[in-house]
Amino acid sequence: MASIKSFFITIFLASRLASSSPVMAVPHRRNANVVTATNETNTVEPSVPVFPRKASTDAPYSVNEEALRGAIHIPSTFEYGSGSKTPVVLVPGTAVSSDITWANGFAKLLGQTDYADPVWLNIPGDSLGDIQITAEYVAYAINYIAGVSKDKKLGVVSWSQGGINTQWAFKYWPSTVEVVTDLIALAADFNGTVLAPLICSPLTGFLCTPAIIQQENGSNLITALRSNGGDSAFVPTTTFYSDSDEIVQPQNGTSASAYLLDGRSVGVTNNQVQTVCGDKNMVVLHEGALYNALAWGLIQDALTHDGPGQVSRLDVASLCNQESAPGIDGLAVEAAVAVSASTNILESEDKTLEEPAVASYAL
């Protein structure tokens, strides 16, 4: 399968780079407390305190509020709920910052609309560390942005691991569910990926980080997430995924890792690009979800209607024929994400071959 082949090529290139760079060749115990703090100064206070918890049912944070708040990038154009726009929180995936993931892509397009007001998260350590910690940043950002936006409900757009982070936040910080109208999850791996174990093998362990091992299919984290209805949506949810994804597999039909159930009847649409476009040979890579025209159509549709995005409202034939969403240089996004991901994985000092323990609040 071509996608598996390109995955191996990526690993091959990564290991070539590794052998010529001063990275740790031997996995070592990670130090969970080492996080590079981002330091945005977001001085606006939310309408109600969202830290140390917004609701008594919320899980405790282990990260301090300054760091949680400092990871939220709020563009200077942000309206703080004063206009008619819906705030949108963009959540990145493993190994890539939001600046690279979103700034020249869907954040740019959302910022040009009259209905969406995007902010994004730059997770310390580029989401390579413990997913449970990364989810704290997402939970805090959702409640903080609602709190500084006149308690307007907001949308969340995630890529890859960002879907897990957000679903974990919804599950263990139930106050976040109250302020979110939509999750649009691009190329999510809610059931992990069968390709992650290839990175976290003894031979390739110098590439394995907590978040990568937690995204192995059947990991303790994935099992905990999916238990007790975590495999169902908490808010109206639109998924977009591709069976030619070279990072997340399986990504086909109802057993796709991105596929979410709707046990709470909140509204879910699962949109596999090959199925929607009626072209089973269509190739859309993992990064392709960051500029795909159909993905953009679904984001727009979800944010401008009640409930999840519906392809029945879209000009599918036209969207399926476009290389990229209008206004995005897809190839540039693709290249920037790929280069940044391999560099960040190699340079991460947070390497481990042992999955972090599942937090007691999730047991």
217 interacts with ligand NAG by CB under 6 A: yes
Please tell me whether the peptide bond between 326 and the residue prior to it is cis, using omega within 30 degrees of 0.
no
* End-to-end C-alpha distance for the chain, whole angstroms: 38
Q: 80-84 contacts: CB < 8 A, separation 24 or more?
A: 80/44, 80/148, 80/149, 80/150, 81/148, 81/149, 81/150, 81/151, 81/152, 82/150, 83/117, 84/114, 84/115
Maximum C-alpha span of the chain: 54
Please tell me whether the peptide bond between 92 and the residue prior to it is cis, using omega within 30 degrees of 0.
no
Quote the least distance from Cβ 55 to ligand NAG, whole Å: 29
Q: Which residue has the tokens 């263990």?
A: 172
Quote the least distance from Cβ 72 to ligand NAG, whole Å: 11
Nearer to ligand NAG, 5 or 28 (CB): 5
280 interacts with ligand NAG by CB under 6 A: yes
Cα 94 from Cα 104, distance rounded (Å)? 18
101 interacts with ligand NAG by CB under 6 A: no
Here the tokens at position 140 are 């805090």
Catalytically annotated residue among 97, 98, 149, 160 = 160
Report the amino acid identity of residue 11: I
Quote the least distance from Cβ 76 to ligand NAG, whole Å: 14
- Binding window for ligand NAG (CB under 6 A); candidates: 35-43, 58-66, 83-91, 316-324: 35-43
327 interacts with ligand NAG by CB under 6 A: no
- Binding window for ligand NAG (CB under 6 A); candidates: 109-117, 168-176, 198-206, 247-255: 247-255
Q: Which residue is closest to ligand NAG by CB?
A: 218
Cα 167 from Cα 185, distance rounded (Å)? 10
Quote the least distance from Cβ 281 to ligand NAG, whole Å: 9
Binding-site member from 20, 43, 77, 255 for ligand NAG (CB under 6 A): 255
DSSP reduced 3-state for 172? helix
Binding-site member from 58, 243, 245, 301 for ligand NAG (CB under 6 A): 243
Select from 186, 29, 60 the least CA-distant residue to 133. 60
Quote the least distance from Cβ 272 to ligand NAG, whole Å: 8
- Binding window for ligand NAG (CB under 6 A); candidates: 36-44, 284-292, 295-303, 329-337: 36-44
Does residue 286 carry a catalytic annotation?
yes
Does residue 245 carry a catalytic annotation?
yes
Catalytically annotated residue among 97, 189, 244, 286 = 286
Q: Write the DSSP symbol of residue 59.
A: P
218 interacts with ligand NAG by CB under 6 A: yes
CB 180 within 8 A of CB 154: yes
CB 360 within 8 A of CB 132: no
Quick note: the x/- pattern for ligand NAG over 104-123, rule CB under 6 A, is: ------------------x-
Which are the catalytic amino acids? 160, 245, 286
Residues in contact with ligand NAG by the rule CB under 6 A: 38-40, 122, 191, 194, 217-218, 243, 252-253, 255, 280
